[in-house]
Amino acid sequence: MILSQHKQFFRLSLLMLSMQLSLQMASGQNVTTLEILNADLTAFDVQIGKDARKLIGDVRLKHEDVIMTCDSAYFYPGTSSVDAFSNVRVQQGDTLTLSGDLAHYNGITKLARVRNNVELVNKDITLLTDSLNYNRAAGYAYYMGGGILTQDDNRLTSGRGRFILHSEDFYFMDSVVIVNPDYTIHTDSMMYNTRKEISYFSGPTEITGEDRYIYCENGWYDMQQDISYVTNNAYMEEAGKILKGDSLYYDAEQGFGRAISNVELIDTAQNMILKGNYALYYSDKETAMVTDSALMIQVDGTDTMYVHADTLRTMQNPDKEEQSRILRAYYKVKIFRADLQVMCDSLVYVEADSAFDFFGEPVIWSDENQLTASHIRIIMVDQQLERMQLNGVAFVASQKDSVSFDQMRGKEMTGYFEENKLDRIFVSGNGQTIYYATDQGFIVGANKTVCSDLTIYLKENKISRVVYTSQPDGTYYPLSLFPAEEARLSDFKWLADWRPLSWEDIFFWK
């Protein structure tokens, strides 16, 4: 009898709740009802609020397309809201599930506040936190006390976060960290699109992988395709190479990188730096191209070499099994070293041979001597100048005074260095010389000689003597009797105005 009366009371209570919710709906056009689908026990409880209801056991409620279940709840029809306790679960559609220990849901504002052991699952995304607010009307959820998001192999932690449901974008702030088997990201704030798995970050950011490190203060990273675009103090390090620039784009799968503005490519193994304002980098082939104010710096203490050209290319030598590089420079090339300066149209440097080849009217200045030819090759050993080969109208000139020049001309020349200074020059074929004799520092006469082969010896950067190997044909003139038309050998040109006197001068062409 008592059980039968209890069941009648329960049915009556549900009927009254349905009537009150219908009245609630009629009073506001934008308010939909919270529908009680099930509860093992329901009762009025004025201690928790006027017209409040207590729902106990297998509680199930519905609001629009949302189903809420819990062990017990306080229901407030006057405000169309509910407090849910223990094993709280909110299911929206087929994709979103929200669970926790406690929840408050307002049917008017459509705001759910879920606390303690909160888990939000949306498709393949899982978010864990202790405090989450879900605004159904605006379509976003947010947390303030720290959270962990997982998707496939990605695990993200942050102090605060916001999830936009329709776009599936997450916004993370405060000590954001993404951990993946292939990389780790640390940043201040990030927007993460879970559909495309693309991260957009701002503030100091580090991306660390097994073989790669990236730093920036703005940019994005495509986790699916392993492509990154970073700006603001952008920096990337991989396999002993460091790439810097105002902006860096890198496709790891293709092994392709692009850097724009204030570019630096540093090869720590070779002590080499490439600079410019536009660069392309291919990691698999270890090839780089730099242009727009391109500059190469080969660091070697006081013998540091600076190379400028319109375009610089460096690549792995395909003809050598061991690690060896080739440098190519194109158009308006200038080189500055403290003991040697160069100007030409293009050059090739083969590291395995320690050889520089200069093309396009090359000019070399070594102390007081200017050397020109159709093609010039310089051989180095341990970064020290060893010898130099000049082919095709080879010419050496040095200035004696404002109008007088020592000159040597031949078909081919080979110069030898001692301690990075020209020591002697061997002239082979069609040798011609003009050599001025001095007495107590004053020019007193001139020797003009033709000889097939000859050797020039230098001391303190000046010609000390000339040895003619075959029978010479020469004439000595007192200076006052030396004809002006005889003072220049064929193909003579003096290019001192083009000589770079500091590394900054290599950028200027007169």
pLDDT digits (tens, 9 = 90+) for 37-92: 999 988 887 677 777 889 999 999 999 889 999 999 999 988 889 999 999 999 99
Average pLDDT score over residue span 258-273: 88
Model confidence at 173, in pLDDT bands (50, 70, 90)? very high
The answer, yes or no, to whether residue 348 has pLDDT greater than 90, is: yes
Q: What percent of the chain has pLDDT over 70?
A: 93
Using CB atoms within 10 Å of the CB of residue 501, give its burial: 0 to 12 exposed, 13 to 18 middle, 19+ buried.
Answer: exposed
Please compute the mean of the pLDDT values over residues 202-227 and round it to a whole number. Answer: 90
β-bridge partners, 149? 127, 156
The closest alpha carbon to 43, from 33, 55, 31, 35, belongs to 55
What pLDDT is stored for residue 17 in this prediction? 41
pLDDT in the model for residue 358: 96
pLDDT of 483 higher than 70: yes
Which amino acid, 476? Y
Which segment, 28-37, 111-120, 150-159, is predicted with the most confidence on average? 111-120
Question: Would you call 47 exposed, middle or buried from its count of C-beta atoms within 10 A (0-12, 13-18, 19+)?
Answer: exposed
End-to-end Cα separation, the chain, in angstroms: 114
Instruction: Please answer whether residues 231 and 245 qualify as being in contact, where contact means their C-beta atoms are separated by less than 8 angstroms.
Output: no
pLDDT of residue 321: 56
Stretch among 153-167, 250-264, 292-306, 404-418 having the lowest mean pLDDT: 292-306
Query: Measured between alpha carbons, how far is 273 from 309 in angstroms, rounded to an integer?
Result: 14
Average pLDDT over residues 235-255: 88
What's the pLDDT at 320? 62
Dihedral angle of Cα 229, 234, 238, 240, to the nearest 10 degrees: 160
pLDDT at 404: 92
Domain ranges of the chain: 361-510
Query: 180-199 pLDDT, tens per residue?
Result: 888 899 999 999 888 888 88
Can you give the pTM of this predicted structure?
0.76
Distance between CA atoms of residues 491 and 234, nearest Å: 50
Range with the largest mean pLDDT of 99-113, 174-188, 458-472: 99-113
CA dihedral 400, 402, 408, 413 (to 10 degrees): 90
Helix H or strand E encompassing 485:
none
In this prediction, residue 367 carries a pLDDT of: 86
Taking alpha carbons only, the member of 92, 113, 100, 69 closest to residue 166 is 92
Instruction: Domain 361-510: give its CATH code.
Output: 2.60.450.10
pLDDT at residue 336, as a whole number: 95
Q: Can you say how many angstroms the Cα of residue 330 is from the centroid of all Cα atoms in its chain? A: 24
Mean pLDDT of 204-230: 90
Check residue 252 and give its pLDDT: 85
Residue 322 pLDDT > 90: no
From 66, 106, 65, select the one nearest 83 (Cα to Cα): 106
The pLDDT value recorded for residue 5 is: 40
